[in-house]
């Protein structure tokens, strides 16, 4: 009898263990929270993994404005890189200011990174890194009408990149 008991016990121990299979619903209940947790971790960790662009070439004129100045009207402009940060450029800058009557003031200037600086206080772009040029009232045949509309066209030809430009509608200060 003891031998029969030991044989049945060894058969029970040597029998293959049945593993229970999880249903598709169980995988969904486990997978969805795991996926949400991984998205949460990514949202928290991603700002620490971000790298800055090494190249900060100017690709656009962020804004050009026409401001009041003691000597006439001042054109302030800000150049931006691919991520929208203020930057500088080496090359040629072409600025045109046109009154509604057709009178045009035009200047082409070579610029370098040293030509750019913080824009003067009191203007729309005050404190931003940009370029400023004054259009003296003496350069006009008649003084522009204060508050009158003007078209400011800025063209930039970098020495080592593709040219870009913008046209803004402004009012004479």
Six-digit token string for 9:
């016990």
Beta carbons of 76 and 64 less than 8 angstroms apart: yes
DSSP state of 96: E
pLDDT score, position 169 = 86
Q: Can you give the pTM of this predicted structure?
A: 0.64
pLDDT in tens, the chain (173 residues): 656 655 665 555 555 666 778 888 888 889 999 999 999 999 988 878 766 555 678 888 988 888 888 888 888 999 998 888 898 999 999 999 888 777 888 889 999 989 999 988 888 888 899 999 988 878 777 766 667 788 889 999 998 888 988 888 887 76
Q: Which are the contacts of 143, defined by CB distance < 8 A and separation ≥ 6?
A: 137
Distance of alpha carbon 36 from alpha carbon 29, whole angstroms: 12
Beta carbons of 150 and 143 less than 8 angstroms apart: no
Beta carbons of 108 and 114 less than 8 angstroms apart: no
Which CATH number does 60-171 carry?
2.60.40
Beta carbons of 64 and 77 less than 8 angstroms apart: yes
pLDDT score, position 10 = 57
- Residue ranges of the domains in the chain? 60-171
pLDDT score, position 32 = 93
Beta carbons of 98 and 104 less than 8 angstroms apart: yes
pLDDT score, position 48 = 80
């Amino acid at each position: 009898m003891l031998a029969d008991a030991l044989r049945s016990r060894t058969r029970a121990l040597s029998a293959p263990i049945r593993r229970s299979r999880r249903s598709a619903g169980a995988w969904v209940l486990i997978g969805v929270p795991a996926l949400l947790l991984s998205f949460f971790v990514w949202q928290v960790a991603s700002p620490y993994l971000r790298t800055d662009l090494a190249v900060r070439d100017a690709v656009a004129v962020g804004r050009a404005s026409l401001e009041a100045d003691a000597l006439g009207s001042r054109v302030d402009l800000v150049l931006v890189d691919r991520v929208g940060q203020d930057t500088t450029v080496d090359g040629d800058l072409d600025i045109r200011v046109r009154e509604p009557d057709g009178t045009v003031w035009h200047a082409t200037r070579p610029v370098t990174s040293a030509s750019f600086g913080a824009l003067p206080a009191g203007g729309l772009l005050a404190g931003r890194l940009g370029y400023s040029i004054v259009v003296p009232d003496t350069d006009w045949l008649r003084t522009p009408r204060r508050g009158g509309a003007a078209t400011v066209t800025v063209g930039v030809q970098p020495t080592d990149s593709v040219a870009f430009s913008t046209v803004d509608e402004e009012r004479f200060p």
